[in-house]
Amino acid sequence: MEFVFKRALIRPEETWQISGTRLVGPKEELDLKDATSCNFNYTIFGKGMTSSELTIVTPGRTVALDCVGKPKTVHRDVFLGMVSEILSTIEIDNPDLKVTSTGTSTMAWGFAVIGTLCALWGIYFAASNYADSSGNFALGIGGFMVLMGAFMIWAGSPWKANQPKTLLEAREWIERLRAL
């Protein structure tokens, strides 16, 4: 099976092939049956830019495949289709392999830090303005900020490890991303 895509808008097209259990690219060749771990990250940046990366680890070797671009482009779709096919190929010889996703930990910590600052500001605002004439208004705004901060800390949950996915679950996730 052949996949032709650009890794980024300003990069040239690359041709990758999966033949049996071998993945062959412009400067890489890898036997997928030797995979010992996989990590897939998908990030959405401002203005609709996305970054997808699949890292495959085999004994003595690590290969990272990535694609950066806007959603709903041919290149992104072909790349995600290739990732899905790679995972299908790995599943044949290694059905118990799990796919991790560690790329969102930075964003999770960012949410937690911003949420903590928001909650602390809410406490400070309520405490410093309650004695003034604003009274209940200060408590309301401060309480809202504390609740919003608590929600952001919970939403980020950086202490909660990302649960590894089975190869089937990872492929289903990638197919949902292709539909976005």
pTM reported for the whole predicted model: 0.72
How much of the chain exceeds pLDDT 90, in percent?
A: 44
pLDDT (mean) for 70-94: 91
C-alpha 142: how far from chain center: 33
The CATH label, of 3.30.70, 3.40.1360, 2.30.29, 3.30.1490, for the domain at 2-102+162-179 is 2.30.29
Give the model's pLDDT for residue 17.
94
- Integer-rounded Cα radius of gyration of the chain: 22
Domain range annotation of the chain: 2-102+162-179, 105-156
For residue 75, the SS3 value is: helix
23-79 pLDDT, tens digit per residue, is 999 988 899 999 999 999 888 777 778 888 999 999 988 999 999 988 888 999 999
Which pLDDT value is given to residue 134?
65
> What is residue 111's three-state secondary structure?
helix
78 and 1 Cβ atoms separated by less than 8 Å: no
